Every structure is written in structure tokens, then in C-alpha cells.
Amino acid sequence: MAPNFSFDAGAGFAFVSKSAFLASAAIIVFITAAAFTRRYLAKTTTPPPHILTFPPTRRHVLSSFPQFEKTKIQPEILASTLKRRALTTTKKADLSKDNLYTPMGFATQEIRALGRFPDYSILTGVRHPEPCSPSWDISKAVFRPFRPFRWGYHQHMALMKYEPDWWVELEQNYHKTMAARKALLSSHGDRIFFQGPGADLAARELMEMLLQFLCKRYPQHFSLSNNNSILHNGLLNTTTDLLTTPPLRVLFDTIPEDYAIMLRNESDGFYYLRAAMVCSSVGWDIAQHRDEPLRDIHTHVPDYASKMAMSMDRYFSKMPTDAPVNRCSWSIEDWEAMWSSPEVDAGWTRSAFSASPEKLTYKDLKLRCDAQTLRRLPMSGAVVFNFKAVFAPFEELRTEAYIPALLHRVLLEGKENLITYKCVDNVRRVAMDALEKWAADQVAQGVVPPDWEVGTLEESPFFPGWREKWARQQGF
């Protein structure tokens, strides 16, 4: 292996290796021919930065499963073995063949021994959710009021601690959303849903984890029977045969949220999008990104390549299973789009008012928040990106303490390319006028002190008093 390479160089790998190269080149040039230097460099700069980086293994938990009671578990597998004996993720993998390893260090025979529906709280190190409160009623349930505004605004991943009770959040539009998704699947299935040949293990694992979650969180609506082979969905009144239905299809028909599965490519150590079902994309569709590595998927995000790509790659390479994260992004829109794509609508525009911008008022505006979860699956090592689009009438912000002043500041002084990404100009202008007035009202009413120094709220991504508001909305 390349001797002057630090695989942990991490931030700025390319940069580090280049300066290492310059230093060694300076010496070599003195002692040998330039041709040799070129050959040397071609060889030493080839290994991709994360090819020997594997996520922290969860092998040690195997001994908690009865199947492994009598087995001596090797706690760690060498990175060189994981590389040499890697279970492929780029074509159909043969799980019946022994001694092939996932990036998590699980061997194929161990995966078979774990069987269907192993206890994922043990495998992941993330507890099961608590059942939702007995007073929770899906016909009144609303999403929590996400207001993830931050000031000073630095672009970073803005990660928040994962909340084990909230991986899936069901609310009163369940039936409506499920019906809309089903219609979308039949009209544009190939744009919203795909699964590559190497993603079978990850797909099954994700399905089992999510169904285990649902049955624990919403036991009044979901249950498993027949040795975990039948799923009962009491909301849609359906039963699904889990032995014959493709796992991602089970999820599509059960949970109104979006999922994208990234798998580690065993030949370069980068993560590629191998399976997905994404219905809430507006202005793009997930099929455009099929099989792309992480950095290509984000080309539309301002400053991604220059500021985030390398640290994201590094983050993915090491992200532990027992520390999932949440984040929340936002935008302001003038209609509640679920899915639309220029690929199928030549005249597509983001704004519904592009032909008559003067007609737009703040009453038309919606705050869109995408509550996201990033989790590493414990066996396949897949990284699953999950999100739900949550729309709220913009006018709700009027009575939420501190929010108008905070968002006004972000829209006024935020970095231009980020703000234009979050809303079109016309929407921005109308939103700012309303927010300025509401912020002044809150000062006049004594809700916000006149000398408040605008900054990210302690309650972020929520706001002071959000629990009371949320309880009121649901009739508690």
C-alpha cells in the first residue's frame, strides 16, 4: 500500500496527498529521472481515500443472540479481509456462499444465522421507540412544527441528535398521502422507485427495521403474525405477505415517507445510490441520480462541491450505526407540490405564480420543511437517507415567538446563492414584507424584547412554546 498515504487524512484528502506528493517529488527529482517520478506518482495517488475505511463493526452484539450462544465471536475482521472478501453491492450478491463480508464485518453465514427480523435494537444499538401516547389519534395528528432556521448562517450539515421515537411520524393525512403515492407509482413508477441488483440485503434489512419500528410505535395500527411473515396494516386494512412481496414495495405500500439507500462500492469505498423510493421531489426526480456517487447527487446544492463533498464522503465512510442523525432543511413555496419534474413537464416552473407574480400574497405561501434522518444499517452497512416533506401555511409563523424576526434576518442577509435556492425572488419579497410586520408586532406585544439579538433559538428546530401549540392543534 502507498506508504506516504494517510487514509485518515480526511478533510482534503486530495489536497493532503498532493502536497505529500510535492514534497517527495522534490527529493526524488534530485536523485532519479522524471519518468520514474511520474510512474511512482501514478501508482501512489491511485488508491481512493476510503478504500480501507470501514464503518465501526457491530459484530460484538452477535453474542447477545441465542443462535451464537455457543460460538466464539471474532470481535473484528481485518480491513484487508473485508476488502478482499467483500460481498458485492454492484451486482446480485450470493448470500448462500460462506465467508463473504459486508462492510460492517458480518459474514454471509452469520447473516443467514440471524434469520428474519432479528432484534434491531440490539443490532443497531439504538433503542426501540416507545409506543405513542394513548391519547394520540391519527385522525387529529399533525407533524411537529419544524422551524429549522439558523442565524448566523454557516453552511454545514446542521446535524441534530436522532430521536428514536420519531423515525417515522404518522399524521392525519395518512390515507390521502398513501393514495397520492400509489397514483404516482402507477403513472411515473420508473422515476420514483428503483432497486439495483446489489441492494437486496439492504432492502430487506430496512424493511425489517421499519416494520419493527412501526409495530412498537403504533401497535394499535400495525402488527406481524405467522412467524413475522404477515404484516397487518389496520389503517389501510390490508395484510401483506412478507415472504413474497419485495421489501421496498412493502415499505412503499405502508409508510408515506421517502427513502434512499446508499451502498459502499467495494472497489472504491465511495457510497452510491443503489435503491430509492422518493415521491416528494420537486423539480427533479430520484431516477436521475440512480447509481450516482454522493458528490454527483448534490451538484444542485450551492457550494456543495467546494465546501461539503469531501467531508461528506469521509462522514459516510465512518458513520456509526448507533449514532443516527436528524437534520431539517426548509424552503418557501407558493403551492403544495408533492412531486413534479421538468422531465415530464416541459413548461415546469417552481412558482405557481410565474405568469402573474403580482397576485401572490403571503396567504399563498407555504413553509416546506424536510425532516430527514440518516442511519447506517447494521448488517449491510448501507446508509439510508429518509425524509418527509412537511408543509405548513406560512401565516402560522405570525404567532410563533421569535420566528418572524429570525427568518426575516435569514432572508435579508443570508448568503445570496443559498437564499435563492430556498425561495424564488417573488416569494422572498412577499415573505419578507409579512415577516417584517409580524416581527414588529411581536415586539409591540411584548412577546419579543426590542433589543433581542437575532440568533438561532435554543429550541431549534422548534421555537419557544411549540409543544403547547402542537398539543392545541391536536385537541389535547
Contacts with ligand NAG by CB under 6 A lie at 90, 115-116, 227, 237, 265, 267-268, 272, 291
- Minimum Å distance from CB 92 to ligand NAG? 12
C-alpha grid cell, residue 188 = 411515473
Give the residue with the Cβ less far from ligand NAG, 114 or 132.
114
Is the backbone of residue 254 left (phi > 0), alpha (psi -120 to 50) or beta?
alpha
DSSP letter, residue 67: G
CA distances from 128 to 22, 113, 125, 134 (A): 51, 22, 9, 18
Burial of 303 (0-12, 13-18, 19+ CB in 10 A): middle
CA 69 to chain centre: 35
Give the residue with the Cβ less far from ligand NAG, 225 or 267.
267
Contact 122, 61 (CB under 8 A): yes
Give the residue with the Cβ less far from ligand NAG, 76 or 296.
296
Give the residue with the Cβ less far from ligand NAG, 203 or 365.
203
Cα distance between residue 218 and residue 223, in whole Å: 9
- Minimum Å distance from CB 220 to ligand NAG? 14
C-alpha grid cell, residue 312 = 461528506
Residue 390: half-sphere exposure toward Cβ, Cα within 13 Å: 22
Burial of 27 (0-12, 13-18, 19+ CB in 10 A): exposed
**Helix axes 34-44 and 13-31, enclosed angle (nearest 10):** 150
Give the residue with the Cβ less far from ligand NAG, 173 or 229.
229
- Minimum Å distance from CB 290 to ligand NAG? 10
Give the residue with the Cβ less far from ligand NAG, 75 or 115.
115
- Minimum Å distance from CB 133 to ligand NAG? 23
Give the residue with the Cβ less far from ligand NAG, 177 or 265.
265
CA-based torsion, 70, 76, 81, 87: positive or negative = positive
- Minimum Å distance from CB 115 to ligand NAG? 3
- Minimum Å distance from CB 260 to ligand NAG? 16
